[in-house]
Amino acid sequence: MLIAALVLLSLLFLAIIIRDLQSANRVPLLAPERLQPEHTPSLMVIIPARNEAGRIERCLEGLAAQQLPHLDILVLDDNSTDNTAEVVRSFGAQLPGLRVIAGAALPQGWAGKCWACWQAAQASDAEWLLFLDADTAPLPGMIATLFDYAHSRHLDLLTLLPLLELGSWWERVLMPPFIGLIQAVYPIDRVNDPRSSLALANGQCILVRCSAYFAVDGHRAVRDSVLEDVRLAQTIKGAGYRMEAVGGPELMRVRMYTRFSEVAEGLRKNAMAGYRAGGTLRSGIGGARQALLAFGPLTLIAAGLLLAVLGRPESGALLICGLGLLILTLSYWGYVVRRLHGLSPIWALLYPFGTLCYFLLAGQAFLSILRGQGVTWKGRSYSG
């Protein structure tokens, strides 16, 4: 009976990993186009910025390198307390189409980023909007490539999955398990299937047709969400518009955080947003399967060692299965961190520890909600 159970467990692990690899291979991977797009749209780049003086320079430098004849860029200074606006205005000579406007005070019932994006969208009369986060670094050819792909696929929304740069120790420990959980809950091949209701967008880079955006009321329709990118994609796809997510490590890089406090704050914010969204069955299954992959092999090994100490004959089977599954999962995670983050596969050794740490942060967010405290993000408090 034990051997049969271990064989079934091994087959389950193998099926999960094969499914993940197949899903990843179905995600379109875009390479930069160096030529001007065949069909040049009326486009407005929108960058919501709150206290981004130390990060936004890379984004603006990347936009200046797009080699487009003219680029309209609107930076919404969301009540920054640093010199974000001054840093942006210093790029005026490099980006003649650049404007900075001051955001109005945050109304009750709105999340900060939604309010900033909605204000900026109101100031545009372009055919397309390209929402970029201030911490992104667009690479040459990004905009032309995105628009040509959206045009050729007749899309209304296109979102980009960039290369996520991980510099500090905690970034490398915590972010890969978090990204793995997101992809488990939102398989990109299903997101890109128009027959599926599953929708996902990455708020770091969203190209959307204005007619579709305003038809569904844009960010105003998801005004209270700190998971506004996913909610916006769900709203647009649910209204019958076409959307896709694509990979683009050669089109854009982003470094979201630089130290543990930032990583922890960001992950708690996203966990809280997931709880507020209702904690669907899909999210629960995604979390359970990630926990199984991370902790299952180690649990088998620990059980095998305990039984070996007790002199039980079952110990050998448990140890062999646990070690085999550990090698399998570490090999898979090593491939993932190399492909998605450009890191040495050796970082896969910390994947189980990172998964545990993420669950602890998510638990903290849940307890904060139960206590009515909520979480803090960008200097603003959001309750559950």
Q: How many domains does the chain have?
A: 2
Digit-by-digit pLDDT tens for the chain (384 residues) are 888 999 999 999 999 999 999 988 889 999 887 655 556 678 999 999 999 998 999 999 999 999 888 899 999 999 999 999 999 999 988 999 999 999 999 999 898 999 999 999 999 989 999 999 999 999 999 999 999 999 999 999 999 999 999 989 999 999 999 999 888 888 999 999 999 999 999 999 999 999 999 999 999 999 988 889 999 999 999 999 999 999 999 999 999 888 898 898 888 888 776 666 545 677 788 889 999 999 999 999 999 999 999 888 889 999 999 999 999 999 999 999 998 888 999 999 999 999 999 999 988 887 877 777 666 666 666 655
140/266 same-domain check? no
CA gap 76, 61 in Å, rounded: 17
Q: Are 106 and 115 in contact (CB under 8 A)?
A: yes
CA gap 324, 326 in Å, rounded: 5
79 lies in a domain? yes
24/36 same-domain check? no
206/260 same-domain check? no
Domain membership of residue 347 as a residue range: 1-29+168-194+254-370
Identify the pLDDT of residue 194.
93
217 lies in a domain? yes
* pTM, full prediction: 0.90
262/312 same-domain check? yes
17/45 same-domain check? no
Name 325's Cβ contacts closer than 8 Å, sequence gap at least 6. 9, 10, 13, 296, 297, 300
92/129 same-domain check? yes
Q: Quick one: CA torsion of 365, 367, 368, 374, rounded to 10 degrees?
A: 60
Q: Are 146 and 130 in contact (CB under 8 A)?
A: yes
208/339 same-domain check? no
Kindly report the CATH number assigned to the domain that includes residue 132.
3.90.550.10
Identify the pLDDT of residue 282.
75
73/213 same-domain check? yes
62/39 same-domain check? yes
51/39 same-domain check? yes
324/213 same-domain check? no
43/125 same-domain check? yes
55 lies in a domain? yes
375 lies in a domain? no
